[in-house]
Chains A and B, each alone.
Chain A
Amino acid sequence: MNIIGLKHVTLKRGGRTLVTGFSNVIVKGRVTVIMGPNGTGKSSLLLALAGMMPATGKIILRGRPLNEHSRAELARAIAWQGDLPPTEFGLTVAQRLQLAGGEHHTDFSKSVSLMELGELLGRALGDLSSGERQRVELAALMLRDCPVWLLDEPTAHLDLRHQVICLNMLRRQSEHGRAVVVVLHDIQQAVSIADDVMLFDGRGNIAAGDVAVMLTRERLQAAFGVSLHDASLLLDYHVQENGHESTQ
């Protein structure tokens, strides 16, 4: 079931057009992975979907234009995870989680235990590593009862173990009916969780469709401007393990 619709969406930042006339739908119960070169507007698209960046065209949430929803309504429908929050004022892990949904949330213990934060609850965010802070943000996201999750490179600071935990968690959340939209740079990670892919080409166009159709050699080469033969160091492991033909 569609929860967000995009109609002829155009995004600009600093006088530069990032996305031109993009139309698509975000569907509940599916993981949509956004991929593309740096600076092409992936994070901006996430912000626009969260109602935090102006866009021309129409973004429709549950049948109503996004800009007709109040900020509180948007916060109930859409959870966004992007940059790590600042640490200057000494907020602790427990307080950060409390702001997301409260320690009385039924999933509080579950999210803390899944992200392995039990020992860190009393620590200040500023005393944690980037990876630990990323895990705090993921646990905070789990406390948001929103049908749409938007995540900007959630595995960026994580070690291998927590990358796996994170991707499995996202997969499970979509199976429970959430629409999960996630920006990723790692093709193997994308293949492992994506149902749908939006592929930016760096010229304002986004191709979108099923993962098997989108992550092909030709499309990836065209989008990133690199021969996949040159990128074999990055891709062979996946090819051997998964035998996924689309990236060979």
Chain B
Amino acid sequence: MLMFWLVLGAGEQWINPFDARGQDATILWELRLPRLLIAFSVGGLLALAGAWFQVLLGNPLAEPYVLGVAGSASVGAVAGLMLMPESAWVMSIGAFAGAWVGIVVVMAFSHLGPSRVLLAGVVLAAFWAAILALLLALLPEHGLGRAFAWMMGDLSHSDIPVPLLILAWVAALACGMLLSRSLDMLLLGERHASALGVDVHVLRRRLLWSASAVTAIAVTAAGTIGFVGLVVPHLMRLIFGTLHRFVLPASAVGGGLLLMLADTASRTVIAPAELPVGVLTAIIGVPVFLYLLLRRTS
């Protein structure tokens, strides 16, 4: 609560949330609060998707964008920007459509084992990166600023309504909690999980769809924000242990808080200008993660 109060009040100018009147109240409740809620839900969704992808692919380096969904979303967003430069909505629609094109392509490989799905995803990510570079080369100069701002993460507004984002956060966490014991068993590898009664094919398919859908929502709402989905689940494992009934809620909340903090810093450090939030997530998260890693190892 203290953190909410601090990040809500912080900005170009400090506003006490308990004593905001007139224009201050408008800034607080109509600009800062929605932005804070976007940051919280997007951060939580990215961290949940990251935790799922890591277990699904049996790889601690996996993160929400590992299968190329962010790449295809970026291609969609920039394509939307090229087609209708004046429309704010078209970029988001393009991102959402692009994310789903990426997901459907990856699904064609979902019957293969985790390492081959990962390989297919990495190759697809390279393919989308190449298409994105091509589109950026063709994009008129005045559109480049918007394209880069989107690609580095933009929490200033979301074309997905904030209540829907929060609903997605709650639904994703509930889904994760229902699957938490099966996810724990999947940590033992597919055969061991299967021997313990998990229908691994069904679980993998559900996880792949859920994690991809959650990534698509997060990318559409806020562009690509790296690091949160990779590191927050590991941070939470270092603090709360490995079992998913602890890791998933901790990631959903921890990812949200990290992105909220990073966004607040990005708005205030060089105010009135703003830093890209993805840069801040890395600057805050890396030292904390490395400190915990060293503490745990020693």
B184 x A99 contact (CB < 8 A)? yes
Query: In the bound complex, what is the Cα–Cα distance between A96 and B243 (angstroms)?
Result: 10
Q: B185 contacts which of A47, A50, A82, A99 (Cβ < 8 Å)?
A: A99
Residue A189 CB within 8 A of the other chain = no
Q: Which of A86-94, A201-209, A239-247 contacts B (4 or more CB under 8 A)?
A: A86-94
Contacts known (A71-B194, A72-B197, A75-B196); A89 close to B185, Cβ less than 8 A: no
Chain B residues contacting A47 (CB-CB under 8 Å) are 191
Residue B97 CB within 8 A of the other chain = no
Query: In the bound complex, what is the Cα–Cα distance between A100 and B241 (angstroms)?
Result: 18
A79 x B60 contact (CB < 8 A)? no
Tell me which of B184, B188, B237, B242 has the highest count of chain A C-beta atoms within 10 A of its own C-beta: B188
Contacts known (A82-B191, A83-B189, A95-B242); A88 close to B197, Cβ less than 8 A: no
Q: A89 contacts which of B191, B199, B242 (Cβ < 8 Å)?
A: B242
Query: In the bound complex, what is the Cα–Cα distance between A84 and B242 (angstroms)?
Result: 18
B60 x A88 contact (CB < 8 A)? yes
Contact mask for chain A residues 89-109; partner B; CB cutoff 8 A; 1 contact, 0 none: 111100110011000000000
Residue B85 CB within 8 A of the other chain = no
Chain B residues contacting A91 (CB-CB under 8 Å) are 187-188, 242
Query: In the bound complex, what is the Cα–Cα distance between A44 and B237 (angstroms)?
Result: 35
**Chain B's interface: helix, strand, loop or mixed, by majority?**
loop
Number of chain A residues whose Cβ lies closer than 8 Å to a Cβ of chain B: 24
Residue A222 CB within 8 A of the other chain = no
Query: In the bound complex, what is the Cα–Cα distance between A76 and B54 (angstroms)?
Result: 28
B187 x A85 contact (CB < 8 A)? yes
Contact mask for chain A residues 2-40; partner B; CB cutoff 8 A; 1 contact, 0 none: 000000000000000000000000000000000000000
Q: How far is the CB of A48 from chain B (nearest CB, A)?
A: 13
Contact mask for chain B residues 164-203; partner A; CB cutoff 8 A; 1 contact, 0 none: 0000000000000000000011011101101111110000
Residue A66 CB within 8 A of the other chain = no
A76 x B197 contact (CB < 8 A)? yes
B188 x A96 contact (CB < 8 A)? yes
Q: How far is the CB of B86 from chain A (nearest CB, A)?
A: 47
Chain A residues contacting B191 (CB-CB under 8 Å) are 47, 52, 80, 82-83
Chain A residues contacting B58 (CB-CB under 8 Å) are 86, 88
Contacts known (A85-B192, A89-B187, A99-B188); A71 close to B198, Cβ less than 8 A: yes
Contacts known (A71-B197, A71-B198, A99-B185); A89 close to B60, Cβ less than 8 A: yes
Chain A residues contacting B196 (CB-CB under 8 Å) are 75, 99-100
Query: In the bound complex, what is the Cα–Cα distance between A89 and B234 (angstroms)?
Result: 9
Q: How far is the CB of A195 from chain B (nearest CB, A)?
A: 24
Chain B interface residues (CB < 8 Å from chain A):
54-55, 58-60, 184-185, 187-189, 191-192, 194-199, 237, 241-243
Task: List 9 A–B pairs whose Cβ atoms lie within 8 Å, in order of A's numbering.
Answer: A71-B198, A75-B195, A75-B196, A85-B187, A86-B187, A90-B237, A92-B242, A95-B242, A99-B196
With A71-B194, A85-B188, A86-B188 known, 9 other A-B pairs at CB within 8 A are A50-B194, A52-B195, A75-B195, A75-B196, A80-B191, A85-B189, A92-B241, A92-B242, A95-B241
